[in-house]
Structure 1
Amino acid sequence: MLTVLVVTTACAGGGAKRDALVLGAIYPTSGPQQVGGTDEERGVRLAVEWANTHGGVQGRPARLETADVPRPEAVPSAMRMLRDRGARVVVGSHGSATSVAAAKVAGETGMMLWETGAVGGATPVANGGRSFFRLAPMGANLGRNAIAFVRDELAPELKPAASLRYAVVYVDDPYGRSVGKGALDEVRGSGQVLSASLPYDASRADFATIARRLAETRTDVLFAVSYLDDGVALVRALTTAKVPLVASIGTSSSFCHPQFGQRLGRLAVGMFASDKPDQAHVRPDALEPEGRRTLAWASARYQRRYGKNMSAEALGGFSNGYGLLAHVLPAATSFAPTAVARAALSTKLPRGALANGGGLDLAPPGAPDEGENRRAAGVIWEWVAPGERAVVWPALFATHAIEPLHAG
């Protein structure tokens, strides 16, 4: 397995030179997740640039060393390489399976993983609140938010809420299990009717069979945790089978993806997704002054450099990297992972302080959600027209009203 290591150094100008603070980064910049991974890494690079143009970190320039991890199997060698280059704190990783592997290595080797994008994969070996922190929404919370949105916002407009039957279909991997479990817990915990829980293997799923199962169980509301190709295949199978759904909602790796709407066209209209916001759909007036300033700074530079707006991955990389570089590291008594962890747990930022609308409130060791960010930025998207999506919930961040649903 080839792991590519690239060194990026951006130093603050002027004054005597000081030893750089080395920050590691692992993202898939090649392979099947390279688009999102590249965007997320670009966002982190901007956060390092921001730090270095604003005096560095405790007066020291920050230096980013990055390793391409196209598959989880590349993680151990990448982490060793970054450690050899002086990194003890590593940001990453975009993919849930990669995050699991990196959290394990960090816990075993005295390093820290600052997760900027992956939503699934927390495990007992992750050492949450010690050597693992997740700034992106926890996968289970994306699932819970999706069910709560349907129950509280959509159900009053549908058939009697008490009679709605919910099904959860999820890819059987760390990402799918994490998000799916959150949805299942919310369905059961709030007294809703669960019609089906259907895990599947993305490499050999029979979506026609899944569609028949949803019809047989008289499912009204579908929550799907999938990747792009299988999410599109699932929707097409539901359409072919004429499954009479009254609401369909997915999550981050498929239903909210721009290509989901491009590939499905009118079939996607009225479908929802529980995910993170991108730059084009963040309302500056909903942010704190700090969030507005950094959003304007980062979006202008990203546009000049890459010729496009910041995707959810790029914005998450910048915002969550900024939280580390601008708030946590300056508060740390040293740059050892244990000291950085203490600073992370004591740093509190309100929602809207970060450019993506999030804040910072990391759960301590021993909490059920240890190491998770309780103020992570999460929204509900809707496809409101062919190829057009908008944030519709929560109300503070909504850019569009909720439109009538498309029945499957």
Structure 2
Amino acid sequence: MKKFFSLMVISFLLILTACSGSDQTSGENKGSETLKIGAIFPLSGGLAMLGEESYRGVELAIEQRNKNGGVADGKKVELIKGDAPDPDSAQSEANRLINQENIKTIVGSYSSGIAQAASEVTERNGVLFWEYGAVADSITDRGYKYVLRTNPPASYLSKTHIDFIKDYVAAKLGKDLSEIRVAIAHEDSSYGSTIADEAEKLAKKESINVVTVQPYSAATNDLSSVVLNLKKAKPDVLIAVSYLNDGILLHRQSQELGLKVPVVVGSGGGHDMADFREGVGDMGDGILDVAFPQYQINHEFTPGMEEFINLYKEKYGEEPRSGHSLVHFMGTNVLLDLIDEVGDINPDKLREAALNYKVEAGKTVTGWGVEFDPKTGQNKLSEPYVHQWIDGKLLTVWPEKVAVQEPQINNK
């Protein structure tokens, strides 16, 4: 009996020890849990250059947050990436991340076509999709419950084009607004078409004369017919909506064929990349660009800018190649703030927290405020700025709150 009793006591003590060990292990692991976030970007194919640049911004934000203690009492964030060079692969990658990796939040994507396709899948599965760089208005206009976007849509870029012409360019050219002749040349995907169509509508409302609209395929290797049609139209202002390669081609052939326009304004895409300036050489000086925030900007209105540039250079060994990495860095930090607040990546909890998340303009690294429209998921306080290539540097020139120099307008 004594032997039986002794065995019972030993067994009981072993159980207590095991339980104690289990609790201790749980305590040690508490805070070290990993939260997985999916990322869908075109990391190969024709969009890979800016796709990779955009992904870098997400990567930097997560690495910095993990290094500084993580989120939600020390949880680390792990980024699971998917390469989507086209809409079909965007859908398959979204399905893979959701069904095989059990991802509940996906970020992306730079490209409107990729964002459209991936968000169709996430919406059906109740997974939150965060867009940081694609601009097609239809991404948020569908009213999907699980789509949120921090960057400005195409219509905001179009509005900035027309506001800049109305509030600055017309006076510098010494003309009434009704006398200004505007031409639009755009690549014909959803990106280029949306900006062009909206700019044309807004111009009409302001009684600005759009003398020609020239669509083309971004994959073309000859834009001479487009350039010649622009030359016939004799515009005072050319709005060009291009990716990198077609943007370089458009400006090279414009010079070759003698097209001279007093004011040329790009629209993000390739116009804000260092590779664009290298591709067009000195003739790039003077070209304006309505785009996401760039780096030669009023740093008082964009707190944290210098820190971001240093982080980028330290990790990648070069200067940021465009503002796409910056806006993806900013958007990811909004998401990480919300995860920190909520404590996990539950889509419904994160969405609810996002709709109550408010930041004033001038308080983020992009200068944007944050306020999501509850009907669309669009950040209403994001905005494009006007930049200009001057002496090989892309300087922010308008509006005044972000400018480091006045625009240089040639009225001859």
Closer, same or farther: CA 405–262 of 1 in aligned 2, 3 Å: farther
* Aligned twin of 1:30: 44
1-structure distance, mates of 2:217, 2:79: 36
User: Is 1:106 the equivalent of 2:122?
Assistant: yes
- Report if aligned partners of 1:323, 1:354 keep a CA contact under 8 Å in 2: no
Structure 1 residues 37-48: aligned runs within 5 Å: 37-48=51-62
Counterpart selection for 1:397 from 387, 402, 411? 402
* Aligned twin of 2:332: 321
Per the TM alignment, residue 72 of structure 1 is displaced from its structure 2 partner at its CA by 2.2
1-structure distance, mates of 2:122, 2:141: 10
Counterpart selection for 1:353 from 328, 348, 363? 363
Q: Which amino acid aligns with 1:230?
A: D
Q: Which amino acid aligns with 2:370?
A: L
* Aligned twin of 2:382: 376
SS in 2 for 1:219: coil
Aligned residues: 381
User: Is 1:151 the equivalent of 2:166?
Assistant: yes
Counterpart selection for 2:315 from 305, 314, 317? 305
Q: Which runs of 5+ in 1 are unaligned?
A: 1-13
- Report if aligned partners of 2:262, 2:409 keep a CA contact under 8 Å in 1: no
1-structure distance, mates of 2:219, 2:317: 35
Q: Which runs of 5+ in 2 are unaligned?
A: 1-27
SS in 2 for 1:397: coil
2-structure distance, mates of 1:265, 1:297: 30
* Aligned twin of 1:5: none
Per the TM alignment, residue 190 of structure 1 is displaced from its structure 2 partner at its CA by 1.6
User: Is 1:218 the equivalent of 2:223?
Assistant: no
Per the TM alignment, residue 66 of structure 1 is displaced from its structure 2 partner at its CA by 1.1
1-structure distance, mates of 2:81, 2:287: 37
Percent identity over paired residues: 26
1-structure distance, mates of 2:196, 2:122: 26
SS in 2 for 1:133: strand
- Report if aligned partners of 1:356, 1:377 keep a CA contact under 8 Å in 2: no
- Report if aligned partners of 2:156, 2:383 keep a CA contact under 8 Å in 1: no
SS in 1 for 2:300: helix
Closer, same or farther: CA 52–329 of 1 in aligned 2, 3 Å: same
- The 10-residue stretch of structure 1 (375-384 or 96-105) with the greater mean CA deviation from structure 2: 375-384
RMSD: 2.3
* Aligned twin of 2:347: 337
Q: Which amino acid aligns with 2:33?
A: D
Closer, same or farther: CA 159–235 of 1 in aligned 2, 3 Å: farther
Closer, same or farther: CA 303–235 of 1 in aligned 2, 3 Å: closer
TM value normalised by structure 1? 0.86
- The 10-residue stretch of structure 1 (329-338 or 144-153) with the greater mean CA deviation from structure 2: 329-338
Question: Highest Rg: 1 or 2?
Answer: 2
* Aligned twin of 1:71: 86
2-structure distance, mates of 1:406, 1:173: 32
Closer, same or farther: CA 102–125 of 1 in aligned 2, 3 Å: farther
* Aligned twin of 1:82: 97
* Aligned twin of 1:62: 77
Counterpart selection for 1:208 from 215, 224, 234? 224
1-structure distance, mates of 2:37, 2:362: 25
- Report if aligned partners of 1:256, 1:272 keep a CA contact under 8 Å in 2: no
Per the TM alignment, residue 341 of structure 1 is displaced from its structure 2 partner at its CA by 1.6
User: Is 1:95 the equivalent of 2:111?
Assistant: yes
Per the TM alignment, residue 380 of structure 1 is displaced from its structure 2 partner at its CA by 0.9
Partner deviation per Cα, 1:353-375 (whole Å, 9 max, x = no partner): 2212222111221xxxx222222
Partner deviation per Cα, 1:226-272 (whole Å, 9 max, x = no partner): 11222222223333333342211111112222222222223222211
* Aligned twin of 1:274: 290
TM value normalised by structure 2? 0.85
